Structure 1
Amino acid sequence: MNDDSNFSSSKRKYLSSKLAANFQLGNHLFELVSIVGIARVLHRTPVFFIENAEYMKDLEETNETFPGVIDQFLIFNGRVPWNIEETVFHPRCCIYEDPRVLLHITDDHIHLSGTLYQSYKYFDGMRTEILGWLRKPKRQYFGLPVSDKTTHITCVHTRRGDFLAAGFQASDSHFIREAVKYIEKKASHSTFGWWLGYVSKYNKVYYMDMRVHYVGALSFGDINIHDYYPPNWTPLKFSTDNRTIVVGDN
């Protein structure tokens, strides 16, 4: 961990951003991995400021599962220095903005105003490296079924609680059962589900088509599905009978 004196005396150029530090792990991963990708485009060093207890929790949770992400950052215990102005960038959570628009800025430190950065395009081409940032968990989960030579255990992650409260379409038991019959893995709309798909062994991912099942979020203009989902992932949706699953964009 560094202090402000080391930061101010360095001749390197830096990049940092506001963070949605009170959000969950999937959001943290999007933010931090994207900042690394943006920093590389701009030839800058990514910086993480521990502004308060929530930022510390963000740092610790990410480091537990993706320590290689945190290794990419210079860590400073404190707030962003008062003399660093905020640069407006990435105003909408899930719509990509080309970082090259920032190349003209010559300031030693750029601090971005955006949060969430939910687009794979910020770290496109980095998947092999990102997989190397994972760590096998030390925590033991007793009582869970384990795959063996004759049985393969498939774990399904889905998100319902806050989605239902917000009026979003959430996966129900019928959809999940039918989807699992067709595919080996299924990721939900949540950012945690997105990352489960991204780091999956064969990167063969199916997801519920937002254009059918998540219209509310699209209507706000904050999501471009072509920025959010990699092009090799396959959308799923129900047909008009609400029972048959349609695969792909047909």
Structure 2
Amino acid sequence: MDSSCKSLLAVVVFVQFCFILWIHSWLMRNTGDEAVEKKYVALHLNDGRMGNQLFHMINGYAIARTIGRIHYLPYEDRFRDLVVQRLKQLERVFPAIKRTYVIDKSETNRTLVKFANKSCCVYDDPKRLLNYDDKYLLLDFAWVQNPRYFEGMIEEVREILEFSPSVVSEGNHLLDMLKLNSSSLGNSHGISFWDRPQQSTLCIHIRRTDFLERNISTNMMDTVVAANDIARGMVSFYLKGTFHDGLFGGGVLH
């Protein structure tokens, strides 16, 4: 092969190599990570107890999912340590909840967006946020307690709020103790208290802390009367969540 042919072949190989590099670069720009920039959305942190933090996590995650963003916890010094402590407690009970958020470790250039009139219970359609191109959005409210944000993803919420094995074990132990204590109340014709037909034990969680701390007047006897009516079978009610159906399952009890 003479020198001219060798030179021509070298040029052809070089052009092919450059073409391959260009194709690879074009594919990366149009189908790779550079084409899909991650975007984030957050709510203000709050100093609420476990129930409010749980609402915050699930609703924040649901809002983010609705608009194709990632739920992040903003860098806000005021409640940061408290929220991190609450999250550790929540994750012990619901391990999967840690997949619903990321923590902002430093100040970011975020865009503050008015949302839900800063109300805990007013519903504001998250889809209106789709028009924002900003990488970080911070919704201007902290208390979010409206289930409409996650009503379209109940099954996923159930999975997120799956109890950890240790909590299930603790719960089973408490139930066993409850059965033991109930049976000690006496037998009827050789049948234990727990195993009697139509016999059960009613547990009621009464939330009074907010009322006491804020000095809101309440009538405790109304709750006692209502509990007794339920226990005697005088009323029917719809129970959201049972041991068999799981969270958000339900049935009519008499």
TM-score (structure 2 length as normaliser): 0.62
The separation in 2 between residues aligned to 1:15 and 1:201, in whole angstroms, is 26
Q: AA paired with 2:224? A: S
Paired with 2:88 and 2:252, the residues of 1 have a C-alpha distance of 28
What is aligned with 1:202? Answer: 249
**Sequence identity (%):** 23
Q: In structure 2, the residue corresponding to 1:46 is in which secondary structure?
A: strand
Quick one: distance in 1 between partners of 2:51 and 2:164? 17
Matches within 5 A, 1:14-25: 14-20=40-46, 22-25=47-50
Q: CA deviation at 1:175?
A: 1.4
Which is higher, the Rg of structure 1 or of structure 2? 2
Q: Which runs of 5+ in 1 are unaligned?
A: 1-9, 188-193, 207-250
Give the CA deviation at 1:48.
2.5
Shift of 1:122: 0.3
Matched, 1:12 2:38: yes
Q: Equivalents in 2 of 1:50, 1:62: separation in Å?
A: 20
Q: Distance in 2 between matches of 1:117 and 1:53?
A: 20
1:157 deviation in Å? 1.2
Rounded to whole Å, the distance in 2 between the matches of 1:95 and 1:205 is 29
| Counterpart selection for 1:179 from 230, 237, 240 | 230
Counterpart CA distance in 2 for 1:99 and 1:17 is 12
Q: Give the total of aligned pairs.
A: 187
Could you say what the CA RMSD is over the residues aligned between the two structures, in angstroms? 3.4
| CA distance in 2 between partners of 1:205 and 1:74 (Å) | 39
Higher RCO (C-alpha under 8 Å, 6+ residues apart): 1
1:64 is the counterpart of 2:102: no
Q: Secondary structure at the match of 1:47?
A: strand
Q: Confirm whether residue 112 of structure 1 aligns to residue 139 of structure 2.
A: yes
Q: 2: CA distance between counterparts of 1:72 and 1:174?
A: 40
Residues of 2 paired with 1:161 and 1:109: CA distance? 35
Q: Normalized per residue, which structure has more helix?
A: 2
Partners in 2 of 1:205 and 1:30 — Cα distance? 25
Match of 1:145 among 152, 160, 178: 178
> Aligned partners of 1:205, 1:37: CA distance in 2, in Å?
28
TM-score by length of 1: 0.62
5+ residue gaps, structure 2, are: 1-35, 181-193
Question: CA–CA distance in 1 between the matches of 2:107 and 2:84?
Answer: 14
